[in-house]
Amino acid sequence: MKYRELIAEMTLEEKASLMSGKDYWQTENIERLGINSIFLADGPHGIRRQAAASDKIGLNQGVPATCYPTAATVANSWNAELGEKVGEYLGEEAVSQKVNVLLGPGINMKRNPLCGRNFEYFSEDPYLAGKMAAGYIRGIQSHGVSACVKHFAVNNQEEKRMTIDTIVDERTLREIYLTAFEIAVKEGKTKSIMSSYNKLNGTYTNENFHLMQEILRGEWGYTGTVITDWGGSNDRIEGLLAGNELEMPSTAGETDREIMEAIKNGKIKEEVLDESVDRLLDLIFSTEAAINRSKVEIDIDKHHRVSQKVAEESIVLLKNEEDILPLKFGKKVAVIGEFAQNARYQGAGSSLVNPTILDHTMDSFEESGILSIGYEPGFERYGKKNKQMIDRACGLAEKADVVLLYIGLDEVTEAEGLDRKNMKIPENQIDLLHAIHEVNQNIIAIISCGSAVEMPWIEKVKGLLHGYLGGQAGARAILRVLSGDVNPSGKLAETYPLKYEDTPSYRHFPGKEATVEYREGPFIGYRYYDTAGVDVLFPFGYGLSYTTFEYSDIQVDRSGVSFCLTNRGTKAGMEVAQLYIGCRSDKIFRASKELKGFTKVFINAGESKTVRIPFDDKTFRYFNIETNRWEKESAHYDIMIGSSSADIRLVDTVLIEGTEAPVPYDKEKLSAYYSGKVSNVSKDEFENLIGRKLPDPTWNRNKPLGYNDTIAQCQYAKGLFGRIAYHSIIFTHRFLWKIGKRSTANIIMMSILNLPFRGIARMTGGVVNMPMLDGILMMVNGHFFKGIWHTIKEKIKLRKVLKRKNTNVSQ
């Protein structure tokens, strides 16, 4: 251990105290030993250091910081070096605000388009997500502070995220849901990781020995700190045994006492606690040293310009009929759409950044060179229909040569803690589009949202530009692409299906009660669409440019693939060349192609460049569930170079000698997986894949409610108090939504309705402890007066304990 001597000076109580937070955002300190508190802050795309005191619970406004494009946006750049640059600026701002641990990036897979937090995640592909994340981590940690990769692992829905049990087979877990984390650990060398709320195959991830010890620390050699998601600790002792150092937020000493008692009664060895303390001390001392030696003054304008550059490289041009873009000089443009006036530039929830500067479209036209003849909002932001607004917008559109129509999803539709109800853009916006098309067919739609949407209306627009959520400078970046000052080079990091029902997880998302079954196995995103032959609106890796690129002369050797890339157009531009691998053997079921490399190349008009993409340890591997390790299959592999997963330009073949591992599957029992047509896998076939019987996916409505049941389950409570509480919450949510307090209504769903009862204790910083929670459960389960008395009695006991503790500290 690195700090053995220091740990030897600590009392058992001091060591245990370090294992949970001091308050909502800080770790505990031990003043007599020179161990100070460190500060943790949200920050996947900007620092959200809460302006309110750190003992205040909630999503309070942060200190102003640069709001960079979200991860879903930057992933469209396909530029890991750009991700590293974002990380560097995030790290610099973290140091300036004395934030030791930046809680990001988020690298969960986009299993389903409706996950409410997809705006905060990179991709449906683990290789792309991992490489982008590693860039972010290197950048953040170049300043000595720590990134905190999250949410480990298989947290792919927001509904009931704190209790849902994710059922997934081992191979899919390794190949799809853990690979990005593996890259983040091995290549990014992240100093900290945040465990997710959910269960994995029956065990909370924070306590999952297989995930946390065998894989993370054993196979990957991770020596950093594991931090719970806020309120994500279930059994503190099991979490400590699994290798979780830091529980957040504070429990006012309650779990400290649990740890001490477990050591005294021999349930856990003190050496296990010492190792956890050692790892946490390394995080504390290393990040504290970096902050103390740095005197950073942030150049707000410079950081804003960097945010704009990142947004420009991440914007995706999806349609350009009749070369309507870039806009021709002198064209009269009508600007329509509420998002033009009030930009939609980031997500909602814990990642909400208070921007230092905020560009809006209507304030940026003069420098763009685009001739605007006026603006109309055209629709109400939160979906209410308004014919008068449409009529006024159509009146303006009639006078214009071209209409710039700003549409998308609002802030309460894409939010932490909630999943989207559908893939549609609100109906009032599409009504506006149809009405404008009647008077002016030259429509360029600019979309602002953080995830995939259906576009049955796409034939009504000639140009389609997707800005995703471009951060505080995103509005100006979009205008620079529209004007032609910037040649678009973004490509989609996720597939856009024609309709939601086409997605492979359609029948099993989200898990509504106890479990969510990943019956599609490894066939998510393009892996499914390309293998099963399902048509899509826009394929993975797709994006247009104002120039054209030609691929030629492929050369494959044992270490990689080379080819020639030529810019055949009249404008300089950047092209994302993508390497896909396809195995010709049918012994092991696999997707028809898998992304195994990519590079982004700038090429002047008429220029040619030789491009090389190397192979690595992930190029040909698959996870064998029989040998329990990564293997290579002896086979011929197609080496495919493409401009997207559906636009393969060059193909060659290479013979790879494998590891001759046994075939772990019975092909006849897994026919859906061998065909890739996994949209409706039977229960029996999925059980054959996972090798066990499926757990009951429903709540047990006959037993009393317990710690890990949700407040939503009070609708089935035996006690009248519980049922009244449930219906009161539902009524309050609906009322707030109706009167326009939608963000508050969302917080009720996220922070109350889907909260497990233990979360009342874990999230209140010690205001409510577990014995008091026992009283609340008595009330819910039909013993109202007994429960009230128990709760009051335990509250009095807690006050006495805290009073004694405070007295001892002051002495």
Residues designated as active site: 229
**Cα separation of the two ends of the chain:** 32
Cβ pair 4, 278 in contact under 8 A: yes
C-alpha–C-alpha distance, residues 180 and 174, integer Å: 10
**Amino acid identity of 802?**
L
Secondary structure (H, E, C), 774-809: HHHHHHHCCCHHHHHHHHHHHHHHHHHHHHHHHHHH
Tokens at residue 561, please? Answer: 């693939």
Residue in the structure block whose two tokens are 């302006």: 51
DSSP assignment letter at 763: T
**The pair of three-digit structure tokens given for residue 494, joined into one six-digit string:** 């996720």
Joined together, the tokens standing for residue 314 give: 């991440």
CA distances from 25 to 33, 37, 140, 197, 726 (A): 21, 10, 19, 18, 30
Positions of E strands within 306-434: 316-320, 332-336, 371-376, 402-408
Q: What is the DSSP string of 457-472?
A: TGGG-SEEEE--S--T
Residue type, 303: H
Other CB atoms within a 10 A radius of the CB of residue 586 amount to: 10
Say if CB 325 and CB 444 are below 8 A apart. yes
Q: How far is CA 423 from the centre of its chain?
A: 18
Query: What gap in Å lies between CA 771 and CA 775, rounded to an integer?
Result: 7
Host H or E run for residue 735 = helix 720-738
Residue 398 CB neighbour total at 10 angstroms: 13
By C-alpha distance, which of 583, 752, 551 is closest to 653? 583
Which structure tokens are listed for 443?
């429509």
Q: Decide: 273 and 259 in contact? Cβ < 8 Å.
A: yes
Element (H, E) at 554: strand 549-557
- At position 206, the amino acid (one-letter code) is N
Confirm if 409 and 341 have CB atoms less than 8 A apart. no
Question: What type of residue is 124?
Answer: E
Sorted by sequence, the CB contacts under 8 Å of residue 385 that are 6+ apart come out as 427, 428, 431
Six-digit token string for 472: 């505080």
Q: Quick one: how many helices (H) and strands (E) in the chain?
A: 25, 26
Q: For residue 158, which of 452, 503, 413 has the smallest C-alpha distance?
A: 413
Q: CB count, 10 Å around CB of 169?
A: 22
Q: How far apart are CA 758 and CA 206, in angstroms?
A: 15
Fill in the amino acid letter for 361. Answer: T
Structure tokens at 686: 């999925």
Secondary structure of residue 387 in the 3-state scheme: helix
**Strand ranges, E, within 161-303:** 165-167, 192-195, 199-200, 203-204, 225-228
- Name 521's Cβ contacts closer than 8 Å, sequence gap at least 6: 169, 171, 172, 673, 678, 681, 689
